[in-house]
């Protein structure tokens, strides 16, 4: 969730533990607000004079034993309950400020298992959910072949005031997998595979004029999080290795189109770009910064910028990436962060000592000097360029040498498929060139 003011940063301290933590608590969508105003107007016009009936309906719904909400607006449900005579609730998968996510059996689709996000029966969450539905419908129409690693919405409906969104059932989030694996880093080959899919998916969003604005490990899920278990004698513990590192991006509740109003604060703290903190405005490039932060977290197993204070966050950036360019500091509206054209920061204070202890220059985090590691750090450094205008685009990122072996594999795979087709065509041509008309008639009989 994006915190609106530094004074409210305390609410960000408990990081979301899975993708089900719906981050759009403000209900800021102009799309959904317009839609709901239009609905209210139509409802008011068609039901003029029926306020007593509506009041009675609300009271009777509250008294209903079959559909009840708790004090926080969550739908009260039990295992085995049926929604829309289609979705049978199996268990709870996650819970957040927005509502809950449950695993369901879809009886209209041969008993397939789905994840159903059940939004609280509260206006601002309902409006935010409708905004996400609109984005998901658009993405689904743009990616009918599922070529990009974005989660697909299967269905949505309103259940007694609760917007419910059905998704394909996926595995653990990348954050949860790290957590359950004692925050052991991912192997670099897995990082390469995951990074390629994430960057392609986010580039797909950007090409369709959409910025995700809340990319983080919690919002990237494995398609299947099954793993091999192996004992590490040095660490004296079991360690998990994924069988399949394929991922998908989820949670489009904060996704924003280019033409829409851009709120001043976006992204979860640890993945927030410097231009957002400095209130310089933001665009697609804020997603690029977030992806860079995600990749270093996959490499280290822990968050790079572990702080909840904006000035301290900027000081950590300077410790890792070098001084913030003067031209950015001169343009910031956050004058309290600046003194004499530099970040107003005392390295000898207790906060300064904390930053020096917990942060070091980016290249110093490299655990190995191998070519793949050097390429990854070069990529991350270019994705975490301070100036958004100079920051690597995702088109450029996909052409980075770190992904050269990925492209070679894909090219080899395509060549193999083409080769098989060519072999088949050659065989057919040879067959018909040697078979006589009489023999062909005999075959057909």
The pLDDT value given to residue 427? 55
Multiple choice CATH, 174-399, 1.10.600.10, 1.10.3720.10, 1.10.510.10, 3.20.20.70: 1.10.510.10
Domain ranges of the chain: 17-168, 174-399, 414-444
Q: Is residue 403 packed enough to be buried (19+ CB in 10 Å), middle (13-18) or exposed (0-12)?
A: buried
CA angle at 420 for the pair 418 and 425, rounded to the nearest 5°: 95
Side by side, which strands form the sheet with 112-119?
A: 82-83, 87-96, 99-106, 112-119, 162-168, 153-159
User: In whole angstroms, what is the distance from residue 160 CA to residue 67 CA?
Assistant: 7
The pLDDT value given to residue 414? 63
CA angle at 427 for the pair 424 and 430, rounded to the nearest 5°: 150
User: In whole angstroms, what is the distance from residue 111 CA to residue 360 CA?
Assistant: 52
The pLDDT value given to residue 432? 53
User: In whole angstroms, what is the distance from residue 36 CA to residue 38 CA?
Assistant: 5
What pLDDT tens digit does each residue of the chain (445 aa) get?
Answer: 444 444 444 444 444 434 443 333 333 444 545 445 454 444 444 444 444 444 444 433 443 446 898 989 999 999 999 999 999 999 999 888 889 999 999 999 999 999 999 999 999 999 999 999 999 999 999 999 999 999 999 999 999 999 999 999 999 999 999 999 999 999 999 999 999 999 999 999 999 999 999 999 999 999 999 999 999 888 788 899 999 999 999 999 899 999 999 999 999 999 999 999 999 999 999 999 999 999 999 999 999 999 999 999 999 999 999 999 999 999 999 999 999 889 999 999 999 999 999 999 999 999 999 999 999 999 999 999 999 999 999 999 999 999 998 867 766 666 665 566 566 556 556 555 555 545 545 545 4
CA angle at 191 for the pair 190 and 197, rounded to the nearest 5°: 95
Q: Which of 265, 307, 272, 308 is nearest to 7 (CA)?
A: 308
User: In whole angstroms, what is the distance from residue 43 CA to residue 60 CA?
Assistant: 19
Q: What token pair was written down for 251? A: 């949670």
**Active site residues per annotation:** 214
Q: Is 412 annotated as a binding residue?
A: no
Helix axes 285-300, 371-383, angle to 10 degrees: 140
User: In whole angstroms, what is the distance from residue 97 CA to residue 17 CA?
Assistant: 12
User: In whole angstroms, what is the distance from residue 19 CA to residue 151 CA?
Assistant: 11
What would the DSSP string read from start to end of 279-329?
Answer: T----THHHHHHHHHHHHHHHHSS-SS--S-HHHHHHHHHHHH-PPPHHHH
The pLDDT value given to residue 412? 67
CATH superfamily label, 17-168: Phosphorylase Kinase; domain 1 (3.30.200.20)
**Rg of the chain (C-alpha set):** 26
Q: Which of 288, 305, 317 is nearest to 396 (CA)?
A: 288
Q: What token pair was written down for 352? A: 């300064």
Residue 80: how many CB atoms within 10 A of its CB?
A: 9
């Amino acid at each position: 969730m994006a915190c609106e003011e530094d004074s409210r940063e305390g609410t960000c301290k408990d990081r979301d533990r899975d993708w089900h933590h719906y981050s759009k608590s403000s209900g800021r969508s102009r799309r959904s607000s317009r839609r709901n105003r239009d609905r209210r107007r139509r409802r008011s016009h068609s039901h003029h004079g029926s306020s007593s009936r509506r009041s009675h309906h609300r009271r009777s719904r509250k008294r209903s034993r079959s559909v009840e909400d708790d004090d926080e607006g969550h739908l009260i449900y039990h295992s085995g309950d049926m929604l829309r005579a289609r979705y049978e609730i199996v268990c709870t998968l996650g819970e957040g400020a927005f509502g809950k996510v449950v695993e369901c059996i879809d009886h209209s689709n041969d008993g397939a298992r789905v994840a159903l996000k059940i939004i609280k029966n509260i206006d601002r969450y309902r409006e935010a959910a409708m905004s996400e539905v609109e984005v998901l419908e658009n993405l689904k129409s743009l990616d009918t072949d599922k070529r990009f690693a974005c989660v697909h919405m299967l269905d949505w409906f309103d259940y007694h005031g609760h917007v419910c969104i059905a998704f394909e059932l996926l595995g653990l989030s990348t954050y949860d997998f790290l957590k359950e694996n004692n925050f052991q880093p991912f192997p670099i080959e897995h990082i390469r595979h995951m990074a390629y899919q994430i960057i392609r998916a986010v580039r797909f969003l950007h090409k369709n004029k959409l910025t995700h604005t809340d990319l983080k490990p919690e919002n990237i899920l494995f398609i299947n999080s099954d793993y091999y278990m192996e004992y590490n004698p040095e660490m004296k513990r079991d360690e998990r290795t994924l069988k399949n590192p394929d991922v998908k991006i989820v949670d489009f509740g904060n996704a924003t189109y280019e033409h829409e109003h851009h709120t001043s604060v976006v992204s979860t703290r640890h993945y927030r770009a410097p231009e957002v903190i400095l209130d310089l405005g933001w665009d697609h490039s804020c997603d690029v910064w977030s992806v860079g932060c995600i990749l270093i977290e996959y490499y280290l197993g822990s968050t790079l910028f572990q702080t909840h204070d904006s000035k301290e966050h900027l000081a950590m950036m300077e410790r890792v990436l070098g001084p913030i360019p003067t031209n950015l500091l001169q343009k910031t509206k956050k004058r309290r962060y600046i003194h004499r054209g530099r970040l107003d920061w005392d390295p000898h204070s207790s906060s300064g000592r904390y930053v020096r202890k917990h942060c070091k220059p980016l290249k110093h985090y490299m655990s190995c000097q191998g070519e793949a590691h050097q390429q990854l750090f070069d990529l991350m450094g270019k994705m975490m360029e301070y100036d958004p205008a100079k920051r690597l685009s995702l088109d450029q990122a996909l052409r980075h040498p770190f992904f050269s072996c990925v492209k070679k594999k894909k090219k080899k795979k395509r060549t193999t498929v083409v080769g098989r087709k060519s072999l088949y065509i050659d065989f057919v041509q040879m067959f018909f060139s040697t078979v006589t008309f009489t023999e062909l008639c005999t075959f057909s009989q």
